[in-house]
Structure formats: C-alpha cells, structure tokens
Structure 1
Amino acid sequence: MTTLKPVMGVDELEAFMAREFPQMRMGADTTRIEAVGPGTARLRLGFTERNLRPGGTISGPAMMALADYAMYAAVLAHIGPVALAVTTNLSINFLRKPEAADIIGEARLLKLGRALAVGEIVMWQEGPGEAAPVAHAVSTYSIPPK
C-alpha cells in the first residue's frame, strides 16, 4: 500500500495521543512514534525495567502493547484523528528472545478500507541481530463511520 499518503505527521500523532490517550504515558513515558511514511508507522519501545519479565527479557505484554500502538499510529496517520478506531484482532508470534534493550516496531498497512484496516507489525532490536525479528503481529482495526 505504498500509494497511501499520511495525513498526520509524528508531531501531530504525538500531540493527539497526549490529548486523547494520556494513559499511554502514565507511569512510564517509554513508547515514542519515530516516523510515519506511506502506509507505515515506526515506534520505539524504550528499554525500562518495568517491561522485563523473569529471565531478563522484554515481556510479551510489552511487545503486544507496542504492536497495537504501532498499528493504531499507522491507521491514524492515514485516516486522521479518529479516536474511536479500535482493535478488533491482534495475533502475535514471538520469534526469538529479545535482549533487555529498546524494541522497534514498524506497522505496515496491508488494507485500508472505509470500515477496516489490516496490517502487520514487525518488531526487532538494533544491533548485530537486527535482521532477525523478535516478533511479528497481524492486526485488524475497525474504523467508525463518519
């Protein structure tokens, strides 16, 4: 879907999230929208002890939250500030143990219709193993009628 053009940039998305979804920042201000592009949004989950599980690895719930937030950002970047767009499905595969470090998640829209958006989210960590994702998710969002 590279023919898609974002209608909101990073600053607009971050301002929208701060205004409409402030609970994302409660307790820890660790997830940031880094970039939006044609059909995409890239976010970073900053490393914090709060996201660790026993064994010193980033927890599954933290990666699921990153995937969902990345998809939400990708959808909103392309439809505008529609607060009530909601997740209807999220399926995730954990591919390898992530280190105790930042995780980058990039959402790519596969379909953007009037009522539904479908996309995939690939998550990886920077460094020598960057080419091997730590997780892959597929998500569907419901877009409310105008």
Structure 2
Amino acid sequence: MAQSENAAFDLHAAQHLLDGVFAPWVRDLTLSVEAIHPPGSDGGAGASLRMKFSERLCREGGMICGQALMALADTAMVFAVASACGRYRPMTTVDQTSHFLKPAANADVLADARIVRLGRSMAFGQVLLTTAFDPKPVAMVSSAYALM
C-alpha cells in the first residue's frame, strides 16, 4: 500500500490497509478499525479495533478462543505502528506475549493498541483487550515488530 510521506495515516488509509494487506482468514475475523490515534494524542500513537462476536470464534463453552484474541491484538498493533510511522510499513511480528485475564463471551472484543517505543528497525507496543460491555480487561498483550 503506497501512501504519501506527508499524508497522515487515517481511517481511510486504515480501511484500505485492512482490505488489501491482510490474509483472507484475518479478514474473516470481521474486524473494523474504530479509531486511529496519531502521534502526540492522549495515550500516544495507536489504533482501536473491534472484532465482532461470532460463534465461529468460540471454543467449547461459548468463550472466544485465545487464538482469535491473539490475532486481533497482533492485527491492531500493525495499525498502531502505521499510525506512529504516518504510513503503513511492511513489518513482521518478532514477539507477542499474551496474558489472558478473564474469558470473553457473547460480546464484541475491543483492542486498544498503543506504541511504547518506535525505532528505525523495531517497534514495541501494548494492546489492552476488553469486551464492548465491560471495561475490565480480557487480556493484555505486549508485542515487538521488526520494521522492513
């Protein structure tokens, strides 16, 4: 995805990224970009995504599986890095540590991804996952990305 160096990474660019860069199975998670947080905003550069609830994401007992939550967090960080850079840059996940705090069931899951540090070749961030109906965290995720 090409974008002018002077243009800010915004919701329009984020939707283009979501539609054009991610693997089909990631798009099948029915993610939507709720907000892009530019550098200098309250909380720092980042992005907020929503994963719509679906029975297809649930394991036995009706709880959303950890794999879907980890994919949401990983995807949200791509948008957070793009926000911090002002554009999408190819990147790859180097590390993702997930702490699951409580189950998510029968609700959309929200991801608030924020950049902790952005360097020339690495980016570090954190994602807080909550459900749409409860602000108590479902999971906390720390991530590192190599920037290409």
Work out whether the TM-score is over 0.5: yes
Change (3 A) 1:70 1:21: same
CA contact (8 A) 2:100 2:139 kept: yes
1:1-146 superposed matches below 5 A: 7-23=8-24, 24-25=26-27, 28=28, 30-38=30-38, 39-79=45-85, 80-82=87-89, 84-127=90-133, 129-130=134-135, 132-144=136-148
Report SS of the residue matched to 2:137.
coil
How many residues are matched?
Answer: 134
CA contact (8 A) 2:81 2:88 kept: no
Q: Which runs of 4+ in 1 moved over 4 A?
A: none
Structure 1: unaligned runs, 5 residues or longer: 1-5
- TM-score scaled to structure 2, two decimals? 0.85
Q: Tell me the C-alpha RMSD between the 2 structures.
A: 1.5
Structure 2: unaligned runs, 5 residues or longer: 1-6, 39-44
- TM-score scaled to structure 1, two decimals? 0.86
Identical counterparts, % of pairs? 33
One-letter code aligned to 1:73? F
